Amino acid sequence: MSSLPWLTIVGVTPLVGSLVIALLPSSSAPGSDAARRRRDLLVKRTALGFSLLTLVLTIAMVVSFSPGGPDYQFTQVYSWIPRFGIHYAVGVDGIALVLIAMTAVLTPAVVLASWHDVDPPPEVAATADTPGSGPKAVPARARRRSVKAYFAWMLLLETMVIGIFAATDLFLFYVLFEAMLIPMYFMIGSYGVGRRQYAAVKFLLYSLLGGLLMLAAVIALYVYSARAGHPGTFLFSQLTHVALSPGAQKWLFLGFFIAFAIKAPVWPFHTWLPDAAAAAQPGAAVLLVGVLDKVGTFGMLRYCLELFPSASRYFTPLILVLAVVGVLYAAIVAIGQTDMKRLIAYTSVSHFGLITMGIFALTSQGQVGATLYMVNHGFATGALFLIAGFLIARRRSSLIADYGGVQKVAPVLAGLFLIAGLAGLSLPGLSTFVSEFLVLVGTFTRYRAAAIAATVAVVLSAIYILWMYQRTMHGPVRKPVEGMPDLKARELWAVGPLIALIIALGVYPQPLLNIINPAVQHTLTQVHAIDPVPPHPGQKSVTSVADPGRIVGGKLTKKELAP
């Protein structure tokens, strides 16, 4: 196994890119319009270069990862604040690794797709370059839309997300969990459209509320770890061995779960997402829904289950109810949406309900499917948001009713939109189908009613995806759509790799499953749970939840099997 500090190298690379962009000349500096465009182009190329370098380094790290090796690899532990037991500690298992890889793939795609998202309107640029027009000729809002700041925030966000997935010190995780709100807040509030400031503040307040609850739980865990004369610690590997009473586990679990449920988001904590996704630029929406929201479900899988195993089992029935309601509610609401970005946002709420259900089913199929779903959802929803963004950039409207007949004038755009949409409804042969199938099978083996109810969402997803496609791509060509150009080379390079991954992972998901499976088995062992034993004919099914301390050699004795 490589001794290189891969996680630090991968995480620092976009941070360096962000700092380099911050030092580049600003487009607001004196000069002609052509000079400003050259400065903006340099910023974009720098952002793309560093995001691609991060992707290359991530691929090298994935190749160096050994699925059959230690549970956590590429680990680094350095004392940060010794007095309080705080460390710079990073390491990844298979679950964190595939989510870091997903982030590294999506970021350059977003940079390419966002190439012109924050450029000043042509009329503004022309007015600004007109002799004698004066500085007041440029609207204040246009002056605030700094291309340099937008792409710097984007790379800074990538660094923070990679750090979150890699952190094995709870204090480091919490700091990054809160800090990542800042780039996204500015990307929505300063560069969004419509009610962008309202959406940004709502996103921030919801997230801060959850963060405060988690902070209280983090502090309590530190206090519990310092008992019996031991020094307090925030290291995850040590916190998993801290003895907690059942009551303490329940309260601390709620502090973590609510924070992660808001971030995911899980119904009924989801209301900020449609507003934020509709107000954000399409690229920012991809980072929000495709990357940031995965922090919530990752936190449930990593921290809620492993730190509070008995509380996780206690709250599982309630969480499954919330997940199923979210799956069905969001799918029904999506059918009635008139705005493309809001519709895609509600589909994500439904998908996150399925992911949460797979996590708390506490079966290997459910958790493998949930982890794979996080990755595949990032690619599928990312492609859907980006292509919707290309449509909006051409028509200057996100309303579904303003389109019609696009397939006849832009067949490539329509074809890729169809593939991304079919991935959203989990069509067999595409990557999301494998994920959804594993989640439903894993849930059915232990909670049949929940799995059957969630299966209804498959039918509903076909309604909202195909109806949106039919209204926008088919029918007579609407007059404003007549001159719509097809996808350009830059746009194809942005969305093409995502479509290729959706198809490739739908046909052959085994490479990802080989990485995810050992990590899921480790998590289930930590939670003291194994898969239900298939019943013999005429016998009831057997649910197997282990008693702490009764696992010998990774197996359970017959005494621990409860019918």
DSSP of 367-432, one letter per residue? HHHHHHHHHHHHHHHHHHHHHHHHHHHHHS--BGGG---HHHH-HHHHHHHHHHHHHHTT-TTSHH
- Burial of residue 516 (CB within 10 Å: 0-12, 13-18, 19+) is buried
Instruction: Between 29 and 371, name the one with better pLDDT.
Output: 371
pTM: 0.88
Dig out the tokens for 155 from the structure.
Answer: 């790379």
| Interval 488-507: pLDDT, tens | 999 999 999 999 999 999 99
> Judging by DSSP bridges, how do beta strands 555-556 and 543-544 pair with one another?
unpaired
Q: How far apart are CA 369 and CA 433, in angstroms?
A: 10
At residue 132 the predicted structure's pLDDT band, cuts being 50, 70 and 90, is: very low
- Burial of residue 447 (CB within 10 Å: 0-12, 13-18, 19+) is buried
Could you please report the per-residue DSSP string of 487-505? --HHHHHHHHHHHHHHHHH
- What confidence score (pLDDT) does residue 27 get? 63
Specify the range with the lowest mean pLDDT, choosing from 97-101, 379-383, 431-435, 549-553.
Answer: 549-553
Query: Does position 30 have pLDDT exceeding 80, yes or no?
Result: no
What single-letter DSSP state applies at residue 537? T
Instruction: Between 31 and 136, name the one with better pLDDT.
Output: 31
Share of the chain above pLDDT 70, in %: 88
Backbone angles phi, psi at 562, to 5 degrees: -110, 125
Q: Where are the domains of the chain?
A: 6-118+143-531, 532-563
Q: How far apart are CA 214 and CA 220, in angstroms?
A: 10
Average pLDDT value for residue range 147-167: 93
Q: What is the mean pLDDT of the chain?
A: 85
Question: Which residue's entry shows tokens 């399925």?
Answer: 354
Q: How far apart are CA 488 and CA 413, in angstroms?
A: 10
- Helix (H) or strand (E) holding 315, with range, is helix 309-335
What single-letter DSSP state applies at residue 73? E
- Burial of residue 212 (CB within 10 Å: 0-12, 13-18, 19+) is middle
Q: How far apart are CA 332 and CA 324, in angstroms?
A: 12
At residue 28 the predicted structure's pLDDT band, cuts being 50, 70 and 90, is: low
- What confidence score (pLDDT) does residue 394 get? 86
Omega before 268 cis (within 30°)? yes
At residue 1 the predicted structure's pLDDT band, cuts being 50, 70 and 90, is: very low
Query: Does position 124 have pLDDT exceeding 90, yes or no?
Result: no
Dig out the tokens for 361 from the structure.
Answer: 């089913």
User: CA of 455: how far to CAs of 363, 421, 443, in Å?
Assistant: 18, 18, 11
| Interval 332-352: pLDDT, tens | 998 988 889 999 999 999 999
Which is nearest to 158 in space by CA: 239, 53, 68? 53
Query: Does position 173 have pLDDT exceeding 90, yes or no?
Result: yes
